[in-house]
């Protein structure tokens, strides 16, 4: 079994103890090589040791996790944030495609996060967008990270025309005409985007209401969008679509 190293930075000693115990129980291949209780002690520790995975709390007495990351010249590890933050912060994580664990940490979620972290490293774009989104306490998210096998796309929500389900994948149709295929389900994006002007009009389609040109009632009903495409509207979602159009 290949071994991986980890460092835990959290100002609460019990939280560090519990996470270490959980790792020993469900991920014995992870060797915790150090702990720190704050930003400055964490920076000193990371100057001496470079882990494969960093478990990082956000809120600490002498700063936050972003302060710590900004002080590091390089970040050759995967960061998994551990947080007890509010709903806004959790949405920011999802929009930024940054891994996090919600306290109290669920062991099954810990296993998933560790497995994912073994094969990836931090994306500067994702961390930058996360910091931007967490700081945006008022208003809606403006950009989202779309992580594909080839690239990391930073996309403005206003540039997304529609999303289309493809089994366990989601295909984004963008205003410029290009498409991005992401390995996440449409339901996940429906949950993320429903408060940002997107509406599920069909089992397989999620639409940005800003790009709707008209709702055609004939032949079961469909939407014409300003990129020239049309999207079917399921019978049970017609009332939602009509309400969304009235609210524009």
Residue 79 is assigned to a structural domain of this protein: yes
Q: Are residues 187 and 98 in the same domain?
A: no
Query: Do the domain assignments include residue 147?
Result: no
Paired tokens of 100:
């996090």
Picking from 137, 126, 136, 139, the residue whose alpha carbon sits closest to that of residue 95 is 126
102: confidence class by pLDDT, cuts 50, 70, 90: very high
CA 62 – CA 197 distance, rounded (Å): 38
pLDDT band at 87 (very low <50, low <70, confident <90, very high): confident
What is the reported pTM?
0.86
**What is the mean pLDDT of the segment spanning 66-85?**
92
d(C-alpha 119, C-alpha 247), whole Å: 44
The sign of the CA dihedral 64, 108, 30, 74 is negative
Same domain as 125, residue 215: no
14 and 119 together in one domain = yes
Residues 172 and 239 in one domain: yes
Q: Tell me, yes or no, whether 95 and 176 share the same domain.
A: no
Q: Give the three-class secondary structure for 125.
A: helix
How far apart are the C-alpha atoms of 104 and 84, rounded to whole Å?
8
181: left (phi over 0), alpha (psi -120 to 50) or beta: beta
Please tell me whether residues 74 and 191 are part of one structural domain.
no
- Domain range spanning residue 99? 4-135
> 191 or 84: which carries more pLDDT confidence?
191
CATH number assigned to the domain comprising residue 176: 2.40.50.1020
51 touches 77 (CB < 8 A): yes
Last-in-domain residue among 79, 104, 135 = 135
pLDDT bucket at 245, cuts 50 / 70 / 90? confident
For residue range 195-218, what is the model confidence (pLDDT) as tens digits? 899 999 999 999 999 999 999 988
128 and 179 in a common domain: no
Tens of pLDDT along 107-162?
Answer: 999 999 999 999 888 889 999 999 888 877 656 789 999 999 889 999 999 999 99
Could you give phi then psi for residue 225, rounded to 5 degrees?
A: -110, 160
Q: Are residues 55 and 122 in the same domain?
A: yes
Predicted local distance difference test score (pLDDT) of residue 138: 58
As for how many domains the chain has, the answer is: 2
| In the block, residue with structure tokens 């930073």 | 154
Count of residues in the chain: 248
Residue 179 CB coordination number (10 Å): 10
- Chain-centroid distance of CA 148 in Å reads 13
The verdict on 8 and 131 lying in the same domain is: yes
Ranking 73-77, 87-91, 129-133, 235-239 by mean pLDDT, the lowest is: 87-91
């Amino acid at each position: 079994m290949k071994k991986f190293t980890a460092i835990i930075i959290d100002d609460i000693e019990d939280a560090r103890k519990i996470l270490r115990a959980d790792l020993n129980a469900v991920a014995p291949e992870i060797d915790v090589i150090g702990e720190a209780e704050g930003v400055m002690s964490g920076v000193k520790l990371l100057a001496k040791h470079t882990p494969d995975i960093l478990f990082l709390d956000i809120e600490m007495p002498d700063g936050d996790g972003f302060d710590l990351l900004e002080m590091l010249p390089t970040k050759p590890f995967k960061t998994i944030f551990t947080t007890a933050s509010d709903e806004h912060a959790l949405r920011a994580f999802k929009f930024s495609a940054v891994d996090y664990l919600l306290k109290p940490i669920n062991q099954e979620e810990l296993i998933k996060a560790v497995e994912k972290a073994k094969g990836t490293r931090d994306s500067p774009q994702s961390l930058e967008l996360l910091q931007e989104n967490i700081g945006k306490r008022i208003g809606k998210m403006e950009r989202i990270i779309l992580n594909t096998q080839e690239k990391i796309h930073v996309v403005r929500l206003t540039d997304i025309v529609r999303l289309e389900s493809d089994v366990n994948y989601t295909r984004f149709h963008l205003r410029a005409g290009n498409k991005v295929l992401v390995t996440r389900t449409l339901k996940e994006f429906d949950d993320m985007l429903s408060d940002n002007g997107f509406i599920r009009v069909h089992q397989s389609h999620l639409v940005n209401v800003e790009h709707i040109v008209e709702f055609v009632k004939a032949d079961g009903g469909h939407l014409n969008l300003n990129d020239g495409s049309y999207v079917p509207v399921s019978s049970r979602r017609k009332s939602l679509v009509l309400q969304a159009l009235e609210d524009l």
